[in-house]
Structure 1
Amino acid sequence: MSDNRYVLVLSEKCSDQQLNFIIGQLSKNGLQGTLEDSEDGKVVLVTASKQCLESKAEEIGLEVPINKCNEGDLKLCMPFTTKILESDFFPLPSVEKCLTSGQRSLLLRLAIEDISVSIDLLPQYQIVLPKRLTNVKRVKLMTALKHSKPHVIEECFPLHDLEAKSALWKKIQSNPIQVPITAVREYFGEEVAFYFAWMNFFNITLIFPGLVGLYLHFMRPRGVDIDHAKYLPVFAVVVTVWATFFVIFWRRRQSFWAFNWDTIDFERVAEMRPEFFGEIRASPVTDLPEIYYPQWNKMLRYFVSFLAATPMLLLAVKAMLLSLNLNGYIKDHHSIFYVKSLCQYAEPGAIFAQDNPYYGWMVPTLLHSVIILVLNTIYRSIAVWCTDFENHKTTAEWNNSLIIKRFLFEAFDCYLPLFYIAFYRLDINSLRSELVGLFWGDELRRIALEVIVPFVLSWQKSRSAEKKYTTAKKEDVATEVDKQYIKELKEEEYEAFDDYLEMVIQFGYITLFASAMPLCSIISVVFLFIETKSDCFKLMFVNRRPPVRRAANIGVWLTLMQFMTISSIVTNVMLIGFSSEQLQVWFPQLYDFYDNDHWISEGSGRYVVGLVFCMEHLLLIFAALATWMISPESEKLKNRRLRKVYKQKEVEQSKEWQRLLNKAERELVK
């Protein structure tokens, strides 16, 4: 196909013999490899034949729409088979015309990655594998080329489909509010589409608590700080209830998309990682040979991985403590965390003091955000190395392990200062100041790094590619394809992980400390809108096209948000009861006023603790009951799913379908 290509970037040490071997193996598997030269090195552009796409679609059971039994919004799909191509069941004459650009890119990727070669064949082409990958008879070609010593291929990525990309961008521009999810899925695949579906859902549902917080902000009497604001406990309850329903109804929404995209059962088949290694043994289930790695070895590798990541966590703690000293939050001179040389800058009248008229108190917080950004960049490579070292069997396990590592590091850095101020110093006003600094620092950093910088880089890369293309054209060796791959070679890979991470961290700012910053929700609505549009622009014009991957949900991110929702109930109740005087405003009879502060009356401590305990448990019980009672699938979706299965069986048992099967069998016998 002319509109879907993969680029294999060859290393400088790739020999002509190895190049011929690669192109030969591609040809044997229905793929065509074309060598292209540029100033940046040699690349092979890979395309797939019609027969290759059809074979791969049938192999993975890719469902395609048929003409029979389509009712309303239920468009009946059947697993693709070449038997239905020339029948009344199939609406178009070939699979190429029926599939979206994203599905064709998916099939091309799978066709390339599934090529396997005999391991005994590699030495004659000077392809030397690490010992851990040599205990099998056949090895994936791409795995061998990427892990050989020296590497034969540096990277492999799909080129943008210019026509389909242009059509998608027009649809994105036509809808100023939300991203067209179906159109994104048709081009980028389900994995990317789920991110934007989640962003749309996040932004729309966040409007409700945002408006409540905005109303309470303007209704708060002048001179009353958040420590004594009467209705902020109500807002905290609203946010925790919203977070509970957000997680529940997002589960429903992603089930809806998974059904529409025919990936609802996709996760039952785990995608094996080519890099997984171990000893060959007979499977206790199937008796077939399989790669096995002992559990005790896994645990040992997890322990080594933990030791490797710990120093970066300690550095993050050190950065947090220095930031707290610069802000003046650590005032105990006898504390081991107290640094006098830094705390002096936060004293009244100093440059970083709370009374600084030029918002000097925000500088240490913003500086902390920058330091954490640098540490996180370093930690990213360490986390990838650790996850590779752990030797996960499936791609899903590898992804989840990396996500948890990086999320914990980021959450640790972002939330630890806030927890220190909220529950050690019990100072909600200082908590609000730190939260404002971190929140605005993150938002402004994302605007700079994900809107302004990408736009400038995209403009510079376009100019550079245009110059190279013009020079090549003068020599009569340039084509439009040359111009495209020259440009995309300079672009960076897209990582959905970074986008998810930032938004889930923001979800934590909104929920964990709701009673400290009620405007956080409505401000997030504005920035989420900007973030969504900038992510679209980044995907279309700044980053390379990501490999199309199928998905049934957003993965472990949902589990992390469920954990944060439960945590938000505990943190907000403790903020109301112990870190502020918001509870005193509602129950003044339980408090006495002396030394310019409110203190729990003698004998009233049990009632204060009881109130906090009851609020916490009632909200936890509510969250548990709501999660249990509201099914992940709506009744309508369950009926649609069952009806689809019924209609598929009806088609399979029809006389026309059986006639096609018999005809195909007779042709096979001939």
Structure 2
Amino acid sequence: MKMGLELEAMPSVLNDNIMYVKVHVPWDVQCTYAEVLHIKVPIDVNTTPFRPSMWRFFNCVTKYFRPNEELITEETDFFTAPFEKDCLDRFRIEKRDNFFTPSMKSRMAYYILCRAPYEIRGNMKKFGITKLLGGGVYKAAYPLHDCRFNVKSTEESCPNERFLLYKEWAHPKNFYKMQPLDLIRKYYGEKIGIYFAWLGFYTFMLALAAVVGLGCFIYGYQMQESSTWSKEVCDPEIGGKIVMCPQCDLCNYWMLISTCDTSKKLIIFDNFGTLVFAVFMSIWVTVFLEFWKRYQAELEYEWDTVEFLEQEEPPRPEYEAKCIYETTNPVTGVKENVPFTTCGRCFRVSIGIGTVLFWIVLILASIVAIIVYRLAVFLSLSVRLKDAGDLKNLEPIKEYVTPQMATSVTAGLISFVVIMILNTLYERVAIWITDFELPRTRTDYENSLTLKMFLFQFVNYYSSCFYIAFVKGKIVGYPGKPVYLLGKYRNEECDPGGCLIELTTQLAIIMGGKAIWNNIQEVLLPWAKNLIFRYCTRSTSQKAEPPRWEQDFQLQPFSQLGLFYEYLEMVIQFGFVTLFVASFPLAPVLALINNLFEIRVDAWKITTQFRRIVPEKAQDIGAWQPILQGIAILAVATNAMIIAFTSDMIPRLVYYWSFSLYEGHTDHSMKGYINSSLSFFNTSAFSDATMNAQVERLSNITICRYRDFRFPPGHPREYEYNMYYWHVVAAKMAFIIVVEHIVYLTKFILAHVIPDVPYTIKERIKREKYLTQVILHESKLRLVTKHLKPFVADMSSQMEAEKENEVEVSEF
């Protein structure tokens, strides 16, 4: 109240123990804090002509995908300027009550509430609604929705914007329609608006990638029956006669033909079309980011946030409260207070970096521990099954898969529990460290927290995929001389079908399961909480509908980090779509389907199940932009390395172009590839422990095969790498270098050819600045003239009096 707000206390109609305090912002206070917050308001109608869009030619089709223009009308475009209290006549004030929008008033009220002191003890000053909420003095603080989401208000003063948003945006039947971004921005603020604009643009761009990915999948599906090397695996005369070496010390021999189904499935994802699609996605991600920058620039212009970060964002109240050191601003030369010295800032940042690195090392240690657990449990299960005599009743492939399946399931559950526990703990640590660093503005705070959380989540979510793609099955030695971890546990080998199919399965499970779980959680959790809360607070005596503020209190509060988790979910998905797309071309299809639901689920959630969010301004998507660019750069390397080291594409190409002729073929062919890609091993070279572990009925086998390129037994350089191996290694390195350079060069050219800001927007910004200066100059000139009128009149009368005196003197 001392800061100018008006408070109105209202008792609850449902609970006698609760009192509601309505906060009103009078006109004078609105003008004062509109100037403090540099809120831009209209000064004149924007008459600058806008170049027509190329999409106007498709208007006959696109009109069915736009919201109802009769309900959500296009607003008048104005030239705007930061509000100044002393120059009211320069702004278009038609009606004071409607001059500042409800979102602007909410920003002013929240700004005041966050800085209002409520207790002073000596040098200690307590302030802000946040601390009062944390201490339980107030249960909640929130701006009011304008009406019910499913019932149109009958009051003339009520804009019914929430009702329109639900009807034309959040309702599931509108999943195919474009989003009313201007209305979203007007009702929820620029920060929410820019999130949904980015999500919608990302989903739109995913449609193209999904079409190409689906085509690549169909091509691979048709290739699985015609693949020569897959036919050889399934041929009883070839794959049916090849005995493969055991893949662990206690495993049995197995027949190559047992991987027939797996080899056919592998063809779907490991073919030439996958290479083309991986290169396409590397280009697609660059085009997506560049065109998003252009679209974001258009929104910045339309929403008046072009110079927001430099001029309009105030310091955080927590930062202002601890400004005890005086320093000179290097730009303005004015004395100002800061919360710590340069050394103090370095110390705080160092503590933050050290903490993040510690937690990343901790999660890497947990991953290593889970790998050791997999090896130990797999060995233990194999021993128990052999001792029990169960292996004698199983087929050779089942003897291998059964222990490994049990190990994978238990290890996956343990990994999930560890990830969830570390996520919960690290979130609190990240928030505490960011608070300790004390960033100056809200944007700086969110960017710092975003970087910390993403680095951790990146390791948390992608580590298993990186392990399968680039570590598992790469350093295993050969059957007679395997590599052991910690000197005890034999390193894991890939599944009989190869590591690529295992990576594909991992991605499909993670993406599909994560999407389903997140959508169910986002829909059911807030709905169930609201239902329970309404049931617990219902009143049997009250028949009338409770007032708007009481209805809103029954909704869920929107978390301070609520939007952060929405971004994080989509950026993690973006990583799956781009980083490992060479192994799973259906990833864009799954992402597109998920995002079509995600947009409407998020819209339904914030419109119907959550209290109204305090509107905040935002110029862009913040720290997520450089994170997306980093993922795009990394995606080129990961996909090239997946094709080179995880798939069998390079060995097959080397055989086709170089070694097939040595196998007796008259022309290039894939016939004989399976035989040339499998090395020979003499079973007599097994260790005594391994030989004793084999099943007796296959103990007469003298030669087995394994996946590698080594000289056969009896050769002067037996079990050393042969010439085929070095050809394959050279081809892999050449492939990575050539593909990366070509793709990076293409990305570099596209990034420079496509400007970040459209030329028309640059013209309009310059034109608006010029016209705004002209309008403000004329307004100030009129104001100066108005103030000078009395002075000029006095001077004129004084000069006339002096002339009369001169005449009188001359006559005398």
- What is the TM-score with the length of structure 1 in the denominator? 0.81
Between the two proteins, the alignment pairs up a number of residues equal to 610
Q: Name the structure 1 match of 2:211.
A: 211
1:34 aligns with 2:34: no
1:238 aligns with 2:235: no
**CA gap 1:271/1:56 in 2 versus in 1, 3 angstroms:** closer
Letter in 1 for 2:78: K
In structure 2, which of residues 330, 335, 347 is the aligned counterpart of residue 288 of structure 1? Answer: 335
Letter in 2 for 1:159: L
In structure 2, which of residues 498, 505, 513 is the aligned counterpart of residue 433 of structure 1? Answer: 505
Could you tell me how far 1:238 is from its partner in structure 2? 0.9
Could you tell me how far 1:322 is from its partner in structure 2? 5.8
Cα distance in structure 1, aligned partners of 2:637 and 2:575: 13
Q: Name the structure 1 match of 2:531.
A: 459
1:437-460 deviation per Cα after TM superposition (whole angstroms, max 9, x unaligned): 222221122022112323333333
Could you tell me how far 1:167 is from its partner in structure 2? 2.8
Q: Name the structure 1 match of 2:810.
A: none
Report the more deviating stretch, 505-514 or 422-431: 422-431
Q: Name the structure 2 match of 1:8.
A: none
In structure 2, which of residues 142, 162, 183 is the aligned counterpart of residue 157 of structure 1? Answer: 142
1:372 touches 1:413 (CA, 8 Å); kept in 2?
A: yes
**CA gap 1:479/1:576 in 2 versus in 1, 3 angstroms:** closer
1:225 aligns with 2:349: no
1:510 touches 1:521 (CA, 8 Å); kept in 2?
A: yes
In structure 1, which of residues 644, 655, 658 is the aligned counterpart of residue 768 of structure 2? Answer: 644
Q: Name the structure 2 match of 1:447.
A: 519
Cα distance in structure 1, aligned partners of 2:535 and 2:42: 42
Could you tell me how far 1:408 is from its partner in structure 2? 1.2
Map 1:493-512 onto structure 2 (within 5 A): 495-512=562-579
**CA gap 1:396/1:435 in 2 versus in 1, 3 angstroms:** same
Could you tell me how far 1:419 is from its partner in structure 2? 0.8
Could you tell me how far 1:49 is from its partner in structure 2? 1.5
Letter in 1 for 2:328: S
Report the more deviating stretch, 643-652 or 49-58: 49-58
Q: Name the structure 1 match of 2:470.
A: 423
Report the more deviating stretch, 50-59 or 365-374: 365-374
1:206-232 deviation per Cα after TM superposition (whole angstroms, max 9, x unaligned): 111111111111121222515641210
Secondary structure of 2:272 counterpart? coil
1:593 aligns with 2:677: yes
In structure 2, which of residues 726, 739, 746 is the aligned counterpart of residue 615 of structure 1? Answer: 739
**CA gap 1:640/1:268 in 2 versus in 1, 3 angstroms:** same
> What is the RMSD computed on CA atoms of the aligned residues?
3.7
Cα distance in structure 2, aligned partners of 1:350 and 1:104: 70
Q: Name the structure 2 match of 1:272.
A: 315
In structure 2, which of residues 21, 27, 47 is the aligned counterpart of residue 44 of structure 1? Answer: 21
Could you tell me how far 1:324 is from its partner in structure 2? 5.0
**CA gap 1:342/1:397 in 2 versus in 1, 3 angstroms:** farther
1:346-405 deviation per Cα after TM superposition (whole angstroms, max 9, x unaligned): 99648985997xx99677546634542343122211211111122223322221111111
Letter in 2 for 1:109: Y
1:143 touches 1:274 (CA, 8 Å); kept in 2?
A: no
Q: Name the structure 2 match of 1:258.
A: 300
Could you tell me how far 1:616 is from its partner in structure 2? 0.9
Cα distance in structure 1, aligned partners of 2:758 and 2:29: 38
Cα distance in structure 2, aligned partners of 1:370 and 1:175: 37
1:369 touches 1:441 (CA, 8 Å); kept in 2?
A: no
Could you tell me how far 1:344 is from its partner in structure 2? 8.4
Q: Name the structure 1 match of 2:453.
A: 406
1:574 touches 1:612 (CA, 8 Å); kept in 2?
A: yes
**CA gap 1:642/1:413 in 2 versus in 1, 3 angstroms:** same
1:123 aligns with 2:118: no
Could you tell me how far 1:309 is from its partner in structure 2? 5.0
Secondary structure of 1:563 counterpart? helix
Q: Name the structure 2 match of 1:112.
A: 113
2:165 touches 2:607 (CA, 8 Å); kept in 1?
A: no
Secondary structure of 2:738 counterpart? helix
**CA gap 1:224/1:538 in 2 versus in 1, 3 angstroms:** closer
**CA gap 1:568/1:553 in 2 versus in 1, 3 angstroms:** same
Larger Rg, first or second structure (1 or 2)? 2
Secondary structure of 2:22 counterpart? strand
1:352 touches 1:361 (CA, 8 Å); kept in 2?
A: no
Could you tell me how far 1:482 is from its partner in structure 2? 5.1
Q: Name the structure 1 match of 2:192.
A: 192
Cα distance in structure 1, aligned partners of 2:382 and 2:278: 32
Cα distance in structure 1, aligned partners of 2:415 and 2:565: 19
Report the more deviating stretch, 489-498 or 573-582: 489-498
Cα distance in structure 2, aligned partners of 1:100 and 1:344: 73
1:658 aligns with 2:781: yes
**CA gap 1:554/1:320 in 2 versus in 1, 3 angstroms:** same
In structure 1, which of residues 484, 488, 498 is the aligned counterpart of residue 551 of structure 2? Answer: 484
**CA gap 1:562/1:310 in 2 versus in 1, 3 angstroms:** closer
Could you tell me how far 1:59 is from its partner in structure 2? 3.5
Q: Name the structure 1 match of 2:175.
A: 176
2:184 touches 2:193 (CA, 8 Å); kept in 1?
A: yes
Could you tell me how far 1:566 is from its partner in structure 2? 0.3
**CA gap 1:339/1:51 in 2 versus in 1, 3 angstroms:** farther
1:574 aligns with 2:698: no
Secondary structure of 1:550 counterpart? coil
Cα distance in structure 1, aligned partners of 2:787 and 2:420: 60
Cα distance in structure 2, aligned partners of 1:108 and 1:665: 37
Cα distance in structure 1, aligned partners of 2:579 and 2:755: 26
Q: Which runs of 5+ in 2 are unaligned?
A: 51-76, 148-159, 225-263, 386-395, 475-498, 660-675, 680-705, 710-722, 792-812
**CA gap 1:62/1:297 in 2 versus in 1, 3 angstroms:** closer
Cα distance in structure 2, aligned partners of 1:397 and 1:344: 56
Secondary structure of 2:142 counterpart? strand
Cα distance in structure 1, aligned partners of 2:559 and 2:329: 43
- What is the TM-score with the length of structure 2 in the denominator? 0.68
Could you tell me how far 1:85 is from its partner in structure 2? 5.8
Could you tell me how far 1:407 is from its partner in structure 2? 1.0
**CA gap 1:43/1:339 in 2 versus in 1, 3 angstroms:** farther
Q: Name the structure 2 match of 1:10.
A: none
Cα distance in structure 1, aligned partners of 2:201 and 2:410: 34
Cα distance in structure 1, aligned partners of 2:761 and 2:209: 28
2:48 touches 2:764 (CA, 8 Å); kept in 1?
A: no
Q: Which runs of 5+ in 1 are unaligned?
A: 1-23
Q: Name the structure 2 match of 1:14.
A: none
Cα distance in structure 2, aligned partners of 1:62 and 1:49: 16
Q: Report the identity percentage.
A: 23
Q: Name the structure 2 match of 1:382.
A: 429
In structure 2, which of residues 2, 22, 36 is the aligned counterpart of residue 59 of structure 1? Answer: 36
Q: Name the structure 2 match of 1:317.
A: 364
Cα distance in structure 2, aligned partners of 1:320 and 1:504: 22
Q: Name the structure 1 match of 2:683.
A: none
Cα distance in structure 2, aligned partners of 1:275 and 1:83: 30
Letter in 2 for 1:187: Y
Map 1:324-343 onto structure 2 (within 5 A): 324=371, 340-341=379-380
Q: Name the structure 1 match of 2:346.
A: 299
Cα distance in structure 1, aligned partners of 2:581 and 2:724: 27
1:83 touches 1:661 (CA, 8 Å); kept in 2?
A: no
Cα distance in structure 1, aligned partners of 2:273 and 2:605: 41
Secondary structure of 1:444 counterpart? helix
2:144 touches 2:548 (CA, 8 Å); kept in 1?
A: no
Q: Name the structure 1 match of 2:809.
A: none
